[in-house]
Structure 1
Amino acid sequence: MPLSHMSWHWGGSYNVPESARSILEIDDGRGSLFLDFPALPGGGRLLLSTLDPHSHNGQRFMPATTRFLRSFYPWLNRELSIERPLRNRFTYLQCSHVPSEWQPDGLQESLAQAGLETSFVPQYELGPGILDRTDTLYIPSSHDEFFLKSRAEDLLAFLARGGNLIICAEPCQPWLPFIAPFHAVPPRPFSNIRVRVRDDRLGIFSDLSEDFDGWKGIFGQYVRGWTDPPPGAIWLTDVGPEHDPKPSDWIWQYPTPAGRGGYVFMHNGDNMTRYPDCGPKKEGLVANVAIALRKLSMGELSF
C-alpha cells in the first residue's frame, strides 16, 4: 500500500508498545496511526488504526479510502492464507434449440480467455441447485417469461447473496419486480436504431469498433427499444432519436441492507452472443460484460 492510499484524516495517535509494529506514523514523531500486533499470546493477531476507511468508502469526496481498502483486504487475505472465491462461474441458460442459440460458437472460448468457467444449462432445469453453482447467469432473449416468473423468488435470492444476471430481453411482463415493459423506438428515421455509447466507465465497449451493434452489417437487431431502468442504475448506451435518447443497455446493483447485492446487466434486445460478429474482438462483448460484473463483485471496480 503506498503512502498516498493512507493519507486522509485520522482520529488520534497511539503510543507504540514493545509488542506492536508501527505501520504508519505521524511525520513529526508524535505517534502511530496504524499498529500491528503480530504475535499476541495464544496466537491471535490485532490491527489497530485511527484511520476510518469504511465510513468514507464510496462517499466520493475521499477516494483514497477506497484505494486503501482495495489494497488492504487482498493483503490481509494473503497474510492469513484466506482464499476468496474468484466469482468466475458463468452459466448460459439454454432457451432455444436453434444451434447458434443453444451453444453459441466462440462463447465458451472467449469466456475461457477471460478466466471464466462456462456451463450450459437448459432453462427448465433452472432452480436453487443451478444458482448455487453460478456467479453470473446469462439469460438469452429467447427465454420463457412465464417460466422465469415462476422462478422469481430463486432469482431474487441469487441476487441478494451477490449473484449477477445478464438479461437479454424485450419484456412483455415484469417477470422480476425491477423489470419494466419494453418500448420500441420510432422506426423512422432508420438512424433511430443505431446504438451509441453513453457511459463506459466499466470498459465494456472501449475495445469494440463503432459498429459493434451491427450483426453481419445489419443494424436494428442489437436493440430496437428500451426499458425504464430502476433508480440508481447506470445508463450505458443510447437508442432512439438524438434529441430524445432512451436506455438500450443499463446496469444496476440489487439493493440489500449490507450493500452486497449482485448486479443486473439489462440488454433490451437480441442475444448478445451475436455481437460483435467481426473485427479483432469477435465474440468479445459477452466476455467484456462478464468481466465487468466479476470486477464489480470483487471490488476491483466501483459502481
Structure 2
Amino acid sequence: MHLRSCRTDNTPDSSDAPLTGGRESNHSDCTGTKPKFRFPPPPRLIKSANNSYCSTASDSSNTSVQANRSYNFVRKKKHKSVKRLPPLGIYWDIENCRVPKYKSAAAVVQRIRETFLVNYRESEFVVVCDVKKEHPQMIQELHDAQVNLIHVGRMSKNAADEKLRQSLRRFGELHFAPAGVLLISGDINFTADLCDLRYRNKMRVILVHNVNVSHALLICVNEHHSFEELLKDLPRYRCQTIANGHGPSTLEVSNLPLNFDPKRLRSRLGMLIENCGGKVVDIFTNEGRASIRFGNYDEALRLAF
C-alpha cells in the first residue's frame, strides 16, 4: 500500500528545495505546520534640523506631534534662560534715606531699578515707614511704582528697622547664591544681618547709604553707593495739585538777582507774600530762583495772578 502525498507530481519535494534560511517558506503544507511570521525591521531615528529626533516611519500626524513637542521644548528652553538671572531683594529704609526735596518718589524707585537690575531680576521691593506721618502724595507715588509698602506704627523706636531686618533674614532663608541684596539705609543696626548674608549665605550685598554712614557698615558689603550721588541728576519735580484744590502747593519764583544776599532776599519775598499766606522754603542764589509754599492751591494762584 502506497501513501499518497498531497502535493502533485510537478511540485518538487521539500527535501529537494534549496535551503534559504527558513524565513522565506511562508506556505504551509498539509502536515499542519504554522507559517513563520517575518517581523518588519525596527524604525530608524534620524535627527532633524531643529535637533529633535523623528521616526522615518511616522505619518503626518506623528510629524505634527513631534513639531509641537520641539516647539514646546524651545519655549521651555527660552523660559529657563530668563529664570537664570539671580534674584535681587531691594529694601528701603525711607526714614533714614528720605526722598530729596523736589524729587519724585516714583522717579527714585525707577532710578534704583535701572541702576541695579541689569544682571539681576527683582524679587521684591520693600519700603517700610509710618504712612500716617508721610506726605500722601509720596505714598501714592510709591503705590504707583508697584513696591511693597509696609506700614509700621511708632510703637517702638526701631520698629521700621526690625521689620526690615526680618525681611532680610527671610530673603536669606528662601534664596541662595548667587542671589543679591540691596539695602538703602545708613543705619548701623543692619551690620550683623548684612555680614551674615555676605559671608554665611554667600550673597552679593549692595548698600546705598546717606552721608553719615559708619565704617563698620561699609566693610560688611561688597559694594556701596552714595544716595545723593545716585539721585543728583534727577529732574526737579513739580508738585501736582490735589483734587478740589486741597493740600499744600509749591510756587517757584525765577529771574531773581544772582549772588544776592540770601537774608535780604528772603526778607523781601516774605514782605511780598505776607498777605497771601505763603512761606519761603528755599532760596537758590546761584540759580536765581526761590520756592514758596502755600497752604492750598487757591492761595498760590492768588499770588501768581
TM over 0.5: no
Name the TM-score class by shorter chain.
under 0.3
More helix by share: 2
Q: TM-score, normalised by structure 1?
A: 0.26
Higher relative contact order (CA 8 A, sep 6+): 1
Whichever of the two has the greater Rg, that structure is: 2
